[in-house]
Structure 1
Amino acid sequence: MKRLFLLATLLWSANTRAQDAPALKLVACEGKAQGTYYIVKYLSTDTTSLQPRIDSLFGVIDQSLSLYKPGSLINQFNATGKVTMDEHMKAVIQKALTTNKATNGLFDITVKPLVYLWGFGVNKPSFKGVPPPDSIKAALAYIGSRYLRVKGEELSTTKKGVQIDCNGIAQGYTVDVVGHFLQQLGINNYLVDVGGELCAKGHNHQHKVWSVGIERPSPGDTAYEPVQGLVRLPDKGIATSGNYRRFFDQGRTRFAHTIHPLTGVALHNNIISVTLIAKDCFTADAFDNPLILMGVEKGLAYIAQHPEHGLEAIYIYKDADGGIKEAFSKGFKAYMEF
């Protein structure tokens, strides 16, 4: 009888606390940043907009890593070959260097000269199309993370003319920074989306794990639409690399903005996109470009052989007949909602 009374008392206390607790409400902020859009959704008892503080956070990161921002730390490095890094630049550089080693050079932030040569940089080239072989060869002489040195807070290069472009990883880093900012405010249920790179924690206003769609090209390759089903993100990050947003066509070949740092050639295989799920968006964003360069078979084999990275992937690609196909890593389907 005492046990029943104690159980009833505990249930009553729990229900009383639940009723007394302020209700969580869905709050959304959205705007423009890093050359794209951002959307932040979260649950909170305080509906005061966090957008000014989020915009300020984007501004701080841009001052560190944006090639479009005059005087940014990355532009200072590219102009002089040396810079004193802030916490944001240091985190991105360290991640970039470890990813470079983990992918045997397939991820390399010193790819900037090639990005500009192929016409995907801030300044457009005077011509459009595939660069001459001798121009690619000349640019390759300045490509290689082996030329970068980190000593404390200082980043320097051992070869004059080496420049960096962190666009292949900075967006994923920014997503996680915004997520950490929310957590510091006691917000534990959120979804952060910056240009299609996302991280999620907790649940949405329907008390379900946050879900997102995956973009898939329509038959004409001029637009994109969600794959049937959604991807659940239980405290994970997700990033996509593809050939259908920034590209040019020459003849029957499509050249995308992802540049192979070892050959100097822009992506032109049969892969339309690869979407990665990882422990955080920073990691997913770091590996999506190398995995699209590897191709479907080698990419899926790499994921299986390197469980330490915690990656799961879906490839969307064209088969020999031009049909759109999908290939999954072993654990990816566990995140799918069909």
Structure 2
Amino acid sequence: MHRFSFFFFFSMLMMNATHSQRLVAFEGQAQGTYYIVKYLSDDTATLQPAVEQLFTDIDHSLSLWDPHSLINQFNNNDRGVPMDAHMRYVLEKSLAVSAQTNGAFDITVKPLVDLWGFGVVRHQRKPTTDSIRKALRVTGYKLLQLKGDSLLKRKPGVQIDCNGVAQGYTTDCVARLLEQRGIQHYLVDVGGELRAKGVNAKGKPWSVGVERPSGNTSLPAQSLVYLKNNAVATSGNYRRFFDEGKTRYAHTINPQTGIALHSNVISVTVVADDCITADAFDNALILWGPVKGLQFIRQHPGLHLAACYIFTDKAGKTQEVFTEGFFDK
């Protein structure tokens, strides 16, 4: 069979398969944000109860807002805790990305996050240099140790904050649940971190809009990214921040300096094979900025990353720059 004929035949089979299925969609609130799940299935019975139970299970492991969670048990003692499956996966991934980014991504930033008022207890004031210096003494991913089934501290006072990857991980977990139920066409969105597989009800790839800030008339308000069995996550300084004088401090903390992000970068959107990877790397990429960030992606093709930066130039005009093929990823 000619290549074109085979592709046409395969496409027709795909469209017939998806057209025989119905779109199932539901949404709700979880992890302090929204979630939306859409999928194609012959069985129209909702999987929302199973998805919400999954959110609860992950919160029991990784939520800083659950006083009895496993992560809070770790943070509140001087040695460590036995890990469950959720914590182990997130810790292994986080430590790997920390090594790959030379510590630009680091989940031991919790003391610094709390100092800057972006933790469970919120405030809007710049911490003192001395308090930052003290927090840095217990910051650093190398102060964590995975030993057997346990997560251990190499120094008392080390605390972790997995919020930089938790929603991406949760998105992947929901996607995995859907696939375990035999679903091959879906879109999962947890607070703006998304993962997709297959096609939508029209037989086309799932599309995601990348928002552009208002005030730039040279660019359309939104561009579409088509997800083809991959995921997307965004980090931006427009979500959680405070202004002090003429400086805007955003919730992303540099784990090496202890300083909250204050740069001309508005956001970075990252596409990766899975959502926890996109969610982890967007933290490092926004700290690095477009020049170093895009260079890193070019130098590490095996990571399968693509990114789009939106930033303001010296004239105050909104600009964007992205890896080749970002909108075709």
TM-score after normalising by structure 1:
0.89
Aligned partners of 1:164 and 1:284: how far apart in 2? 19
Alpha-carbon distance in structure 1 between the residues aligned to 2:131 and 2:220: 39
Tell me if the contact between 2:235 and 2:282 (Cα under 8 Å) persists in the aligned partners: yes
* Alignment partners' CA distance in 2, 1:333 and 1:177: 25
Structure 2's unaligned 5+ residue stretches are: 1-8
1:207 is matched with 203
Unaligned 5+ runs, structure 1: 1-10
Q: Of 168, 178, 182, which aligns to 1:186?
A: 182
- AA aligned to 2:148 is G
Answer yes or no: is the 8 Å Cα contact 1:67–1:74 preserved in 2: yes
The Cα shift of 1:23 comes to: 2.1
Matches within 5 A, 1:8-23: 23=20
Q: Contact (CA 8 Å) 1:110, 1:144: kept in 2 or not?
A: yes
Who is 1:39 aligned against? Answer: 36
Change (3 A) 1:54 1:226: farther
Q: Does 1:96 align with 2:90?
A: no
Report the Cα offset of residue 300 of structure 1.
Answer: 0.5
Task: Tell me by how many angstroms 1:226 deviates.
Answer: 7.9
1:75 to 72, 78, 83: 72
Residue 25 (structure 1) aligned to one of 22, 36, 50: 22
Give the count of matched residue pairs.
314
Pair 47,76 (structure 1): closer, same or farther in 2 beyond 3 Å:
same
Corresponding letter in the other structure for 2:199: H
Find the aligned partners of 2:143 and 2:244 in 1 and give their Cα distance.
Answer: 33
Contact kept? 1:214, 1:226, Cα under 8 Å: no
Query: What is the CA-CA distance between 1:230 and the residue it aligns to?
Result: 0.7
Within 2, Cα distance between the matches of 1:95 and 1:196?
20
**What is the letter of the counterpart of residue 197 of structure 2?**
K
CA 1:248 to 1:219, structure 2 compared with 1: closer, same or farther past 3 Å? farther
TM-score by length of 2: 0.92
CA distance in 1, matches of 2:234, 2:35: 15
CA contact (8 A) 1:197 1:281 kept: yes
For 1:279, the equivalent position in structure 2 comes to 273
Report the aligned-residue RMSD: 1.9
Q: Does the 8 A contact of 1:150 with 1:156 survive in 2? A: yes
Whether the 8 Å CA contact 1:213–1:226 is kept in 2: the answer is no
Identity of aligned residues (%): 58
**Larger Cα-atom Rg:** 1
Which residue matches 2:5? none
Residue deviations 1:146-189, cap 9 Å, x none? 11110111001010010000000111111011001000000000
**1:202 and 1:234 in contact (8 A); partners too:** yes
Cα distance 1:149–1:244, how it changes in 2: closer, same or farther (>3 A)? same
Call closer, same or farther: CA 1:284–1:227 in 2, change over 3 Å. Answer: farther
**Residue 249 of structure 1, CA deviation:** 1.0
User: Whole-Å Cα distance in 2 between the matches of residues 208 and 34 of structure 1?
Assistant: 30
Q: Structure 1, residues 217-247: CA drift from partner, whole Å, max 9, x if none?
A: 2239xxxx98433110000110000000100
User: Using the alignment, how far apart are the partners of 2:149 and 2:173 within structure 1?
Assistant: 20
Give the counterpart of 1:257 among 251, 254, 257: 251
Distance 1:139 1:226 in 2: 43
> Post-superposition, which runs of at least 4 consecutive aligned residues in structure 1 deviate over 4 A?
none
Bigger mean CA deviation after superposition, 314-323 or 129-138: 129-138
